[in-house]
Structure formats: structure tokens, C-alpha cells
Amino acid sequence: MSPTKVVLSCHSDTVWDAAHISAYKRRRRIWYYGNLDNLVTVAAVFVNLHKHPDNVKTYFTMHEETTMGGAKSLMRREGKALYIALDITGMSPRSDVTIEHIHHIDKKKLRELLRPLPYKITFTDGEPDEAITFGKKYPTFSLCLPVYGHIHGRTSTSRTKMLRYTRAVLDIAKIVSKNLQHIVIHKHHPK
């Protein structure tokens, strides 16, 4: 039986004790620069939090940069669900979003469902994140904001891309939450 809920997990720890982000303007575009992991996706989630479907829950976790303690605690709390880890990535920086670390999900069906969306979505592998932990037990994938630079330091992204990512998170969460029975791959255990 498929899970009935989607859990968005957005880690709110950084590799540094103090993360610095600045904004600047270049060619009439606003850019963010600094240690964006994972502060930009935390900000992106807040924008549309009030628009999430009832079966979509959002959590902000800790220890993604070390022990994955927040992800493990979240799985104990929520149990059976489709988990979507929100993070940044250095993969495919020209894409609007990337989908990475897919576990127990029909990738082909997910692609079909997302194809009509107006975003450049790239399916790839990237840096390890919470999806690796979630995927050991539950269906999961990472939904990442592609950035330029080193993901744990000198990183940049445009405000335009961040806003597109913000809308994509909401749109993808809505589609996934309505189609759990179509995309989750069930493990068949021999009797």
C-alpha cells in the first residue's frame, strides 16, 4: 500500500558556525552569494508554506552536514511517507531544479507527471543528502536548487532562479501528493 502523505525535509544546518550571504545586482538581476547550503531552500519553503496540500508536511531538520540525526528523527516521527529532501546542488546549474537520489519511486512515471511543468528539470545524481537516509526505508528523492560554485562556500544563484525553484517545489509537491499510488514502487517480500 502506498503512503498517503508527503514529507518535505529541509535541513537548516550549515557546515560553518556562521553562514554569510550577501545580495548584489548584476545586469539588472539580483544575485545571492555566500554559503547558500541550505539557507536558500529554507527561505524558498516559507514563501509557499500556506499553499501546500493537506497531505504535505514540512519539517526543518538538523545534522544533515554530519550524522543525519534530523532525518532519522523525522522518519521515527512521521513513519510511512514519501520523503522529499530539499537541498542545493552543484549539478546541472543551468536547470531550474534537479531531482536526485531517487529510491523506491518509478522514475519514468515521475518524469511523465512532471513533464508538463514549465521548469527545466534534470534527473541526476549529486552530493549525498538526507534522501540517502530516507531511501533506506521509504520512497524518496531530493529536489534541489542548482547553484554555481562550491556548495559549501562560494556559491551563487539568481533571485529569478530561486523564485522559480520556490514555485517548482510547490508544483511538484502538489503533483506527487496526488499521485502517490502511481509513482511509489512497492517492495514485495516473499512469504
* Domains of the chain by residue range: 6-183
Please state which CATH number belongs to domain 6-183. Answer: 3.40.630.10
Q: What is the dihedral of CA 168, 30, 42, 105, to 10 degrees?
A: 30
pLDDT of the residue at 17: 77
What does the alpha-carbon distance between residue 185 and residue 98 come to, in Å, rounded to a whole number?
21
* pLDDT-flagged residues of the chain (< 50): 189-191
* Per-position DSSP letters for 95-157, written without gaps between them: SSEEEEEEESB-HHHHHHHHTTSSS-EEE---S--HHHHHTTTS-EEEEEEE-EE-TTSSEEE
Strands 82-89 and 6-11: parallel
Q: What is the chain's mean pLDDT, rounded? A: 92
